[in-house]
Amino acid sequence: MKYKIFVDGQFGTTGLKIHEMLKDREELEILTISEDDKKDINVKTKLLNEADLVFLCLPDVASKESVKLITNEKTKVIDASTAHRTNEDWTYGIAELTPTQREKIKNSKRVCVPGCHASGFIMAMKPLIENEIVSPKNRIVCHSITGYSGGGRGLIDVYEDPKNEGKFLSQRPYALGLSHKHLPEMKYVLGLKHAPFFTPSVGNFDQGMLVMSYLVKSELLNKKITRNEIVDLYKEYYKGEQFVKIIEDDFEYLDDGFLDAMKCNNTNRIEISVYESEDYILVISRLDNLGKGASGAAVQNMNIMLGLDEKLGLTL
C-alpha cells in the first residue's frame, strides 16, 4: 500500500523542500498540481480529499481556507503556517516536547509544524520549566540568528540577486516592533505568563540558525543550579531522542571559540549547548531552519502520523 501525499503550496520554499525529501520514498505516492491549476478550486479540492495526508505550505489565510475544503474524514493534515499553532484542536508538532506528545501526534488528524525560532526556544526552555528551574511567570530574553531562507522565496531572491552582491554583509535584526509571529506559540506552548522578549536577526547565509535564551541566575532561576547540572537535566529529559543532541563539553564543541549557525544544515537534528558565568546562564539551540525548523519537522510528523519509521527520509 502506498500513502497518497499532497503538498498544498508545493511551489514555496517549504513545499519544495518537502517534495525534495519525499521524492524517492517508495511507500508514498506524491500527488501534484500544475502551475496552471494551482488556483483552480475544483482541482485543488479533489487532491485535498484524495490524499491520505496533506501538507499545507501556505500563508495563514490560505491555509485556513484549504482546511475548510477537506471533507474526507480520513485525510490527515500537517500545517506549516502559523494559522493553527495556538489552536487547542490542533496538536503541536514537536514529538520530543513531552513523554506523551509523540502519541498525541500519532493519533491526531490535525498537526501544526512549529516555527523555527519557536522550536529552538521551546526545546531549550521546556525541560527547565517542567523541572521548576524556570518559572513560567518570568520574563525570558531570547535572540535568534537565522539564514535568509527563513524569509521565503522573496527574501531568498533579494539576497541571491547578483545586483545585491556585497550589500548585505552584516547580521540584520528585524521584527523590531517586538511582535514576531512566533511569539504567540512560544507563550502558549510553554504556558508562559509573558511572551519572551525576543529579537530575531537574519544573516548573510542561506540556511541554519542559532536560538539563544538568556537567564539571570539571581532573577530567573528558582534553584541554584550549575551548567553541568542543567546539561544532565537536558540529557535525562531528552533521553533516547534521536534528533536531539545535548552538548556535554561546550568549548570543544566550538570552532576556535565561535559557534557556527550552519553545522546542522540538511539534518533534522537540534543541538542544545549551555554556557555560564557567575551571574548568567546561556542556552543555545542550533538547528537547520529548513530542517528541524520547518520541512524536516513536517516529515518527522508525517512519519509518526502514518505509523512509519520516524527517521525515514531524515538525516540525524
Interval 97-154: pLDDT, tens: 999 999 999 999 999 999 999 999 999 999 999 999 999 999 999 999 999 999 999 9
- For position 220, what pLDDT does the model report? 81
Question: Considering the domain boundaries, does residue 316 fall inside one?
Answer: no
Q: What pLDDT does 58 receive? A: 96
Residue 195 scores a pLDDT above 90: yes
272 vs 75: CA distance, rounded Å? 35
List the CATH number of the domain containing 142. Answer: 3.30.360.10
pLDDT-derived band at 286 (thresholds 50, 70, 90) equals very high
This prediction has a pTM of: 0.97
pLDDT one-digit tens code per residue, 212-250: 999 999 888 988 999 999 999 999 999 999 999 999 997
Evaluate if residue 37 carries a pLDDT over 90: no
Residues 186 and 123 in one domain: yes
- Given this model, what pLDDT does residue 285 score? 98
- 193 and 259 housed in the same domain: yes
Same domain, 236 and 126: yes
Q: Known catalytic residue: 264?
A: no
State how many domains the chain has: 2
In which band, very low, low, confident or very high, does the pLDDT at 1 lie, cut at 50, 70 and 90?
A: confident
Taking a C-beta distance cutoff of 8 angstroms, is the pair 51, 2 a contact? Answer: no
CATH assignment of the domain containing 37: 3.40.50.720
Q: Verify that 50 and 128 share a domain, yes or no.
A: no
Q: How far apart are CA 202 and CA 45, in angstroms?
A: 36
Could you tell me what percent of the chain has a pLDDT over 90?
A: 93
Residue 110: per-residue pLDDT: 98
Domain annotation covers residue 182: yes
217 and 274 both lie in a single domain? yes
- 33 and 45 together in one domain: yes
In angstroms, the CA 269 to CA 220 distance is: 28
Judgement on whether residues 97 and 143 belong to the same structural domain of the protein: no
Strands 209-216 and 141-147: antiparallel
- 189 with 96, same domain: the answer is no
pLDDT at residue 127 in the model: 98
Give the mean pLDDT of 9-27: 93
84 and 190 together in one domain: no
| Same-domain status, 139 and 239 | yes
Same structural domain, 38 and 122:
no
Name the catalytic one among 112, 116, 142, 264: 116
Neighbours of 81 (CB within 10 A): 22
Of 36 and 14, the one with more pLDDT: 14
The reply to whether 234 and 301 lie within a common domain is no
Q: Is residue 123 part of a domain?
A: yes
**pLDDT value for 125:** 98
Alpha-carbon distance values, 157 to 71, 150, 153, 293, 316 (Å): 37, 12, 6, 20, 29
Residue 212 domain boundaries? 116-289
When comparing pLDDT for 282 and 218, which is higher? 282
Q: Is residue 313 part of a domain?
A: no
User: Is the pLDDT reported for residue 10 higher than 90?
Assistant: no
Q: What pLDDT does 298 receive?
A: 98
